[in-house]
């Protein structure tokens, strides 16, 4: 079992501090930490941290460079656009060599190219359709080949797994999709995503099941196992990263999309009946 993040918003943080914190977790966990990073999509998150949202790409590039620099080297200095520091050594040193794995998220062409250049693996966004993921792979795989490195990547998916398939379909999925749509609408970049919202705004009746078709993992364990195997066959992904109960509530009066007990039971069910199908 490994520990990690998915996704840590790297550009708004000091990368030297992040390097030290991750190295500490690497030591505590016995060399089992993975750092998954992304830029985020909400300008307010940058504003409250005193960063410029328009500089997020450049900040990400510099921060990723610094992480590898201070993890792989002692007595090193850096002079950059956003961060500069004199000769230093980060302590504790990471246990993994040459560094804890860096998973880099993003679906814009520049972000996918950045993942190939500066990451160890690329993370596909959790609500992108399979068609969008395959378009990103058309960028990622050639970029990795040019660098003579493996094109390893992770398909991230929000998940809701239950004992009863029909109950998940009728009672959970509509609310779950509505909740996800709240922030997905704000972050949508793909043409097909914008077209989907335009159709919904025009009054077209698109079911939650249709929206979730190749974007979410949902249903009983048997259905979810089949969905994951379908993703593997179509995309040859190295990992499927599941986020349980993720997203915003469809009703602003709701505290969450599920109680702690509901989500804990779902994770246990996934571990008991889904994971063994792939081990």
Tens of pLDDT along 125-149? 888 888 889 999 999 999 999 999 9
| Overall domain count for the chain | 1
Q: Looking at the domain assignment, is residue 103 inside a domain? A: no
Q: Looking at the domain assignment, is residue 170 inside a domain? A: yes
CA distance 243 to 154: 13
CA distance 176 to 158: 10
CB-based burial, 71-108: b 16+ in 10 Å, e otherwise: beeeeeebeeebeeeeeeebeeebbbeebbebbbbbbe
Per-residue model confidence as pLDDT tens digits over 168-220? 999 888 888 877 777 677 666 777 777 888 888 888 888 889 888 888 899 99
Q: Looking at the domain assignment, is residue 135 inside a domain? A: no
Q: Which domain holds residue 230?
A: 157-279
Taking the alpha carbons of 2, 245, 187, 151 in that order, is the dihedral positive or negative? Answer: positive
CA distance 248 to 209: 18
Q: Looking at the domain assignment, is residue 215 inside a domain? A: yes
Average model confidence (pLDDT) across the chain: 90
Taking the alpha carbons of 32, 4, 275, 258 in that order, is the dihedral positive or negative? Answer: positive
CA distance 236 to 222: 20
Closest CA to 238 of 109, 100, 117, 137: 137
Average pLDDT over residues 99-108: 96
pLDDT of residue 260: 78
DSSP character at residue 73: -
């Amino acid at each position: 079992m490994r520990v990690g993040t998915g996704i840590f918003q790297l550009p708004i943080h000091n990368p030297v501090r992040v390097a030290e914190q991750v190295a500490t977790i690497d030591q505590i966990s016995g060399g089992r930490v993975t750092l998954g990073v992304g830029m985020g999509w909400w300008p307010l998150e940058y504003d409250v941290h005193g960063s410029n949202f328009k500089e997020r790409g450049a900040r990400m590039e510099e921060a990723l460079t610094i992480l590898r620099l201070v993890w792989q080297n002692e007595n090193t200095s850096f002079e950059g656009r956003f961060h500069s520091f004199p000769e230093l050594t980060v302590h504790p040193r990471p246990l993994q060599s040459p560094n804890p794995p860096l998973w880099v998220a993003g679906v814009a062409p520049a972000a996918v190219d950045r993942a190939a250049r500066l990451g160890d693996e690329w993370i596909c966004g959790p609500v992108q359709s399979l068609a969008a993921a395959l378009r990103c792979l058309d960028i990622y795989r050639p970029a990795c080949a040019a660098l003579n490195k493996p094109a390893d990547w992770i398909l991230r998916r929000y998940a809701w797994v239950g004992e009863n398939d029909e109950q998940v379909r009728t009672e959970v999925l509509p609310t779950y999709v509505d909740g996800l749509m709240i922030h997905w609408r704000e972050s949508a970049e793909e043409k097909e995503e914008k077209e989907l919202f335009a159709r919904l705004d025009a009054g077209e009746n698109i079911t939650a099941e249709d929206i979730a078709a190749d974007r979410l993992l949902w249903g009983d364990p048997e259905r979810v196992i089949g969905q994951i195997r379908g993703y593997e066959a179509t995309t040859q992904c190295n990992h499927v990263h599941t986020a349980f109960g993720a997203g915003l509530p469809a009703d602003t009066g709701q505290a969450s999309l599920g109680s702690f007990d509901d989500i804990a039971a779902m994770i246990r069910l996934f571990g008991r009946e889904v994971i063994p199908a792939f081990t």
